[in-house]
Structure formats: C-alpha cells, structure tokens
C-alpha cells in the first residue's frame, strides 16, 4: 500500500517538452516546456501579457489542441491521461475552470440554477443538489441572491457565482484565471480563504476523503503568498520557458 507522501507525489498535471504555435502566428508561444504539478499543490502561474499563461491553461483544459488549432509538439497529461487522446467532456469532469470574463459563462435565469447546473447535468438527485447549493451559497455569501438573475448582480457577485458553480462539483483540479480580478478587498480575502479551506475539509459524498485539490491560478502580477510554488513565465524570443520554480 502506497504511503501518503507517495500518493501526493503523483503528478496530476505534467507537461513534457511541450511546444505550441497558433495557426495565425509565425512564432511558437510555448516552446519545449516541461514541468509537473503534484496533488495538493496550489500553483501561481505568472508572467507578462503574451508569455503563454492562457496557452498553458487551455492546454490543461484540452481546448488546445481540440478547439484551438495549431502546431503542437510534446505531450500534456492530466491525471495520467494524454490530453491529445482525451475528450474535452471527460477532462471537464475532473477539471473545474473559473474564467476571468464570467459574463460569457452565465447562462441560467437565477443564481440557484447557475450553481446547480453542473449537478443537474450529471443527474445528481435533487435533494443532494439542494443541500450542496445551499452549502456553497452560505460559504460565498450568496444565499440572498439565489432567486436573482445573475446578469443583474454586481461583477463581484457574478465572480463568486461562477466560483460556486465550479466548486460545487468537487473537481479534482481547479484552474482559476485571474480569480480575484473583479472582487473588492473583502471578497478577495473571502475567496482566497475558501479556496484554502477546501484543502482542509472533508467532502460529503466523497468517502470522507480529505480534499487534495490542485489549484492553478493565472495572474499577471506576482501576488500569491499562499501558493505552494510559483511558475514564472518570461518572454524570450517570443516564446515562454519555465524560468523558476519556488
């Protein structure tokens, strides 16, 4: 039987000599990039605009190469599965995505339905869905907004709604693109604390296992004191390389 240290050292994300060039560009955005992300880590991905942050996130989500076409070299693995041979629908069952521009992802007429959409898609029993919606709404201070139209609430409240709709499905991997961008200082602290709290609490319906999620935060600045490691991307000859791991 494997020990805890051995289990936590199994990479949930791995890039192997990965390079990518969009069809509409002459130069590679990412070239010969290799790194691993282990279970239980909280990673800050940082770099200037154009350094390849979004390309890395899209590659983990499977949007590259399945949606965004281009020239690809090397391999990307999520939970040991090569993204090239995995359907996006299978990847999104394991990976939760919190976008920066949340308005493009809001589709339901109420905050309650927005939070419950993923569970209903998976045919989760309505009684369990209600419990989980009320629980995440409590954590994010959204209970009073549940009957509201999410398009008519503030940008910060939309951000929290999108966060809740991602966390409610208990994804193994959470990718957050500028997750604090539209929040005031108070809600930035609440959101950060909630993300950190998820590593410490037991999850109902998951066999009592402690959550060991990986979170990959993309941002343009160096903030991220609660992160396990920082992956710093620097532009050199118009492609990005992994310069430092801390």
Average pLDDT over residues 125-139: 94
Residue given tokens 């950060």 in the structure block? 192
Q: Is 208 left (phi over 0), alpha (psi -120 to 50) or beta?
A: left
Query: What per-residue confidence (pLDDT) applies to 160?
Result: 87
Do the beta carbons of residue 62 and residue 83 sit within 8 Å?
yes
Tokens of 93: 């069952």
Residues 33 and 31: their CA atoms lie apart, in Å, by 6
Residues 78 and 13: their CA atoms lie apart, in Å, by 5
Residue 124 has pLDDT above 70, yes or no: yes
The whole-model pTM stands at 0.74
Range with the lowest mean pLDDT among 55-59, 159-163, 174-178? 174-178
Phi, psi of 42 (to 5 degrees): -120, 115
Range with the lowest mean pLDDT among 5-14, 128-137, 192-201, 216-225? 216-225
């Amino acid at each position: 039987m494997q020990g805890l240290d051995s289990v936590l050292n199994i990479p949930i994300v791995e890039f192997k000599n990965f390079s990518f060039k969009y069809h509409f560009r002459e130069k590679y955005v990412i070239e010969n990039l290799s790194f691993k992300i282990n279970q239980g880590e909280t990673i800050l991905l940082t770099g200037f605009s154009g350094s390849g942050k979004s390309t890395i996130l899209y590659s983990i989500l499977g949007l590259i190469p399945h949606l965004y076409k281009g020239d690809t070299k090397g391999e990307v693995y999520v939970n040991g599965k090569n993204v090239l041979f995995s359907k996006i629908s299978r990847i999104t069952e394991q990976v939760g995505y919190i976008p920066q521009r949340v308005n493009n992802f809001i589709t339901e007429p109420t905050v309650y339905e927005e939070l419950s959409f993923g569970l209903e898609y998976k045919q989760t029993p309505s009684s369990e869905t209600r419990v989980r919606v009320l629980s995440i709404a409590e954590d994010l201070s959204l209970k009073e907004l549940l009957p509201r139209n999410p398009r008519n609430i503030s940008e910060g409240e939309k951000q929290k709604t999108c966060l809740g709709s991602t966390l409610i499905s208990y994804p193994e991997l959470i990718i957050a693109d500028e997750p604090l961008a539209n929040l005031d200082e108070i809600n930035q602290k609440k959101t950060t604390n909630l993300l950190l709290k998820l590593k410490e609490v037991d999850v109902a319906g998951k066999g009592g296992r402690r959550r060991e999620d990986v979170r990959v935060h993309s941002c343009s600045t160096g903030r991220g004191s609660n992160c396990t490691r920082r992956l710093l991307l620097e532009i050199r000859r118009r492609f990005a390389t992994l310069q430092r791991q801390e």
